[in-house]
Amino acid sequence: MKSPIYYIKVWRKLFLMSLKRSRSYKTELVSRLIRALTIILLQILMAQSLFSMTDEIAGWTRPQYYLLMGTYSLVMYISWGFFAVNLFRLNEKISKGELDYSLTKPTGNYFELVFGEFFIDDMIPGLGGLVMVLLFIFTQPVTLVGSLFYVISLLIGIVIWLSISTIFATVAFHNFKLKSLDLLPSLSQLGNVPSNAWGKWEIVTKVLFPVAFITVLPAQTLWRGLDINTLLYSFVIMLVFYTLSRILWTISIRKYESGG
Amino acid sequence: MESKSEKLDYKSLWTSFIGGLTIGLKRQKAWRIQLITWLLADAIRIAVMAVLLSLAAKSGDLQASNIVMYYSLLIILVRLTTDFTYENLSREIVFGAFSNYLLRPGHYLAFGLGESLSARIYGLFITIPFIIGIAILYQLGYADFIEFSWQNIVIGALFMPIAFLINFIRGNTYALVAFHVKQIFGLTALYRNLIMILGGEFLPLQIFPTVFFVATTILPFRYGISFPLEVFMGWLTVNEIIIGGIFAILWLFIFILMYIWLYKKSVLKFEAEGL
């Protein structure tokens, strides 16, 4: 079992490789920046259209909803950069017989297949989300402590999303023709809706598919203030889902049979 | 002797088309289990939009059931008219695999058309639950803002093949950019986003600001998805349908001409060196 320092060093090299790749493919970088701008405009357009019909959505005002959208963007695009692209490629690797090579790497199969490459280009559209969050922080009454707990909640949310994505990805080891990860973009949209909007179904977003902790809780921490019980509960959910994802991963990868 | 590029061999084109359709159907059949995922993904998306938009509607006119009907119709149209062959094509140009198409008889576009149609045929299976859902909601009276009539359905159905062809030709015209710009993946993602926004796939175009809506009536994206949907829903007057129809056919011809011109310029630049 290798130490966390080892993995940090490996990941640092992956990060530098990604930066080098971005420098080589400048056109890609520029088009991603333009896409980031388009996404910001789209989000603003959507929010403006929604709020032209009402003053609040499920108790969330316009700045608070922008914060929610910004948080959603941040979580999603950070995920794309760190692990989502790698997981999406799992089905293709299995169908093309390229998985065997990944399984022999010294970093271990989980690190290799989940974090094996870092995609800085795919994170760039998240800049729009960052702008929205920063705008909220600088224009609304937000404390430094609130911002700190926002970051902690965000990190918890990202780990929960990693766990959910990994659970869906493990289906590929059983049947590589079933791309269960194609469900995630739609499921992630639940994070764009305040969880209390679901009424009696809110429990689904907090237990079964805890997307509320990915976007809604961090956003609420910033504008409503810290609720320590909710934060602790989200931490427990994070541990439960992460443990479940690792167990499922270990069980599922044992079922993998190389076609080569 | 006439060169291959000068004489249009219709028999080869037809063979290419049938080849694409056959191979496409076999591929779709091999991956048919994926239909379950897509069906669930579409259903979840409808649920999210229904909750969000009905929360936003002040007056209560925009009921969740109406939004469910709207997005169900939208998904049916998206499954039957949207084309993604441009994504594979641009990747093959960039990685040098396009030379395979140059060696084959016929034309890659005919092959791609067959492949795309095979995906539409399998897309029909996904639309069945949504068609049933719409029928049930309509019978229960949850169609306040939809004026179904057999005339609208027939006219809407006539515009659907035009919508598909617009999406197909436009997408394949865009894919030719890969001959000139190898770093295409970010651009493709941007192109996909623009189609979704300006085509009304994300939110109905009618709820956007007026200036934006007017712009979309001139641009070609609306005619790939939103326009047939608006005809089905009975949201357009006869004049609006005629004007929209003229725009749709005009854009189709523009894209065909653009494709022919750009293809001739682009294929000469092709070098199968890959990235």
A60 bridge partner residues: A57
Cβ-Cβ contacts under 8 Å, A197 against chain B: 51-52, 55
Which residues of B are less than 8 Å from A193 in CB distance? 48, 51-52, 55
The residues on B that touch A, with CB distances below 8 Å, are 30-31, 33-34, 36-38, 40-42, 44-45, 48, 51-53, 55-58, 62, 181-183, 185-187, 189-190, 193-194, 197, 202-203, 207-209, 212
Q: For residue B71, which residues of chain A lie inside 8 Å, CB to CB?
A: none
Contacts of A26 in chain B (CB under 8 A): 183
SS3 content of chain B, % helix, strand, coil (to 5): 75, 0, 25
Task: Give how far B151 is from chain A: nearest CA, Å.
Answer: 31
CB pairs under 8 A between A and B: 107
**Among B41, B189, B202, beta carbon nearest to A186:** B41
pLDDT tens digits along B120-131: 998 888 889 888
Interchain contact, B189 vs A32, CB within 8 Å: yes
Side chain identity at residue B19, one-letter code? G
Residue A57 in 3-state DSSP? strand
B136 pLDDT more than 80: yes
CB contact under 8 A, B44 and A49: no
User: Which of B213, B215, B224 minimizes the C-alpha distance to B251?
Assistant: B224
Q: What is the pLDDT of residue B2?
A: 40
- Stated length of chain A: 260
Q: Give yes or no for a contact between B181 and B266, defined as CB atoms under 8 angstroms apart.
A: no
Greatest CA separation for chain B: 71
Tokens of B74: 């939208």
Residue that is written with structure tokens 């299995």 in the block: A94
pLDDT at B193 > cutoff 90: no
pLDDT at B238: 92
- Residues of chain A positioned with their CB less than 8 A from the CB of B30: 177
Q: What is the pLDDT of residue B25?
A: 92
pTM of the model: 0.86
3-state secondary structure B80-131: HHCCCHHHHHHHHHHCCCCHHHHHCCCCHHHHHHHHHHHHHHHHHHHHHHHH
What is the band of B162 on the pLDDT scale with cuts at 50, 70, 90?
very high
- Does position B64 have pLDDT exceeding 80, yes or no? no
pLDDT along chain A (260 residues), means of 10: 84 85 78 83 81 82 91 92 92 86 85 89 88 91 89 94 95 88 88 82 82 89 84 92 95 79
What's the rounded mean pLDDT across residues B169-179?
92
Closest partner residue to A197 (CB to CB) among B55, B181, B194 is B55
How far is A196 from A203, CA to CA, in rounded Å? 9
| A31 in contact with B, Cβ within 8 Å | yes
